[in-house]
Amino acid sequence: MRIRWVARPAPELNLKEADNPCDLPESISLLLARRGYSGEKLNMYLNPDMNLLSHWSDLGGILQAAERIVSALQNSEGILIHGDFDADGITATVIVYLGLQSLGASVDYFIPDRFEDGYGLGESGIEACSAVKADLLITVDCGITAVEYVEILKDMNIDTIITDHHQPGDTLPDAEAIVNPVLDPDALYSKLAGVGVAWMLLRAVYHILGVDTEYLHELLQYVAIGTVTDVVELTGDNRILVFEGLKKLRESTQPGITALAGSASLNIREINSTDLAFYLGPRLNACGRVGHAADAVKLLLAGSAREAGDLVKTVEKHNRARRKLDREIESDVFRLADELENPRCIVMADKGWHRGVIGIVASRLVSKYGVPSIMISIDNDYGYGSARSVPGIPIFSILNGLQAEHRIMDSLGGHPMAAGFRISEDRIPFLREKLNSVLAGDEWNAHLGSVLYIDGKLEEQDYNAETFRYLEMLEPFGEGNRKPVWLARGAYPVRWRAVGKMRITSAALSGSVHVITAP
């Protein structure tokens, strides 16, 4: 499919506000102004300092949750952390476990098996609470739709604290406390990943106890991994958390993280957000996709280099299996998708597709075709679906609306741009029909199709090492803070050579210049 080149959407520029108080090169200054950073916002963007982080008390429900945890600590109650099986849930489990363990808590963790237990708090979580004789269950990156199971725990005299960032259902669980930023979408914290919500809760607990937060800052290395991998917006508080977390990662002495970076052939001292998104995060995700997420948790909790060295072999084995599976499925799916004529939504289902990797392939469909894409793995007359979407088309809201009207699915959860669900096999054609009907409207036209967003134009004077140095100041890159894409007219590459992590290009642009870009 042809890719449209489009100027990246930007606020109308106020030239006075877009003055350059930081003495940036004009290309960088204009780039940031187009992204809405000028004046004080520009200063905060270029200097993502922990002192600028919003206060934990701004997060609804957090004080009640923290006070219940403090009570559990003081009364030596048993605490169980219930995580999710993706990298966000894995890292959230790790930081809450380590954070409470450092306070002397009697704490354990549990993550369900994707295939045997399914997503979120369910029967297996109830059984885990009984097995460890828990008095308090803390969910991380899940639980907001677990109304029935929170009631069961209540009948068992087990309190539940829910920390999550997914969309709720029609009814909230009757938990002891719920900490979920999407319940207040206008709040400063509305974009946090699950691991970010969990870290903020620990911050509140430490504050109430009057404990020094230096250890919490060490845990930011896990927050960075989970936040980047979960593809939440790297703006505002998320930018600060990931910026600080990357600094801690580059200084990391944690055996599990060192082993994980080594397995990906990364230099831990030079790690960046791209490395988290494409190398570390996918390895952690692979455990929950084709193995068990507990393997990733054990690695990150490893107490020695020898232990981590043994555990990382299992993680790497899962990653190799995941890559083999998604390549096989992708080949089939792209062949079928190429036969579709101007699709506005792609919905594909098959009995041979592995449930653990269909979300990856759905994302690649979105990237290639620029339309919402849903992959469904069929097993025993049920379909297990993963949906991904394009900016401007909130696939979860659309599916939620269809569910409210037609009760198509057995279960549904997710974010505005991604969703997971279970559906009877015989209802899949009806779902496809209704989605295509909704997306047939002209109001979606501007959001459909593959787009390359252009941030601006480079002039000859911009092709130098100074531009590259200022580009490094824009890290961490990710959702909401994409790597810049510039247009250069009359330029063409002549020669490439690698210098460390830079690519230096001899190019022609009204003469001989050097272009320096990140890999």
Per the CB < 8 A criterion, the answer to whether 219 and 247 are in contact is no
56-251: what fold? Answer: inorganic pyrophosphatase (n-terminal core) (3.90.1640)
Q: pLDDT tens, 138-160?
A: 999 999 999 999 999 999 999 99
Per the CB < 8 A criterion, the answer to whether 288 and 116 are in contact is no
Both tokens of 429, joined, read 């054609």
Q: pLDDT tens, 253-263?
A: 999 999 999 99
Break the chain into its structural domains and give their ranges: 56-251, 340-451, 455-519
Per the CB < 8 A criterion, the answer to whether 143 and 121 are in contact is yes
Q: How far apart are CA 399 and CA 28, in angstroms?
A: 40
Q: How confident is the model at residue 451 (pLDDT cuts 50, 70, 90)?
A: confident
Both tokens of 28, joined, read 């960088």
Q: pLDDT tens, 193-214?
A: 999 999 999 999 999 999 999 9
Cut 0.85: pTM above it: yes
340-451: what fold? Answer: Diaminopimelate Epimerase; Chain A, domain 1 (3.10.310)
Measured CA angle at 431 (ends 429, 435), to 5 deg: 120
Let me know how long the chain is: 519
Q: How confident is the model at residue 118 (pLDDT cuts 50, 70, 90)?
A: confident
Q: pLDDT tens, 122-135?
A: 999 999 999 999 99
Residue 430 has pLDDT above 80, yes or no: yes
Q: What average pLDDT does the structure give for the chain?
A: 89
Q: How far apart are CA 42 and CA 510, in angstroms?
A: 33
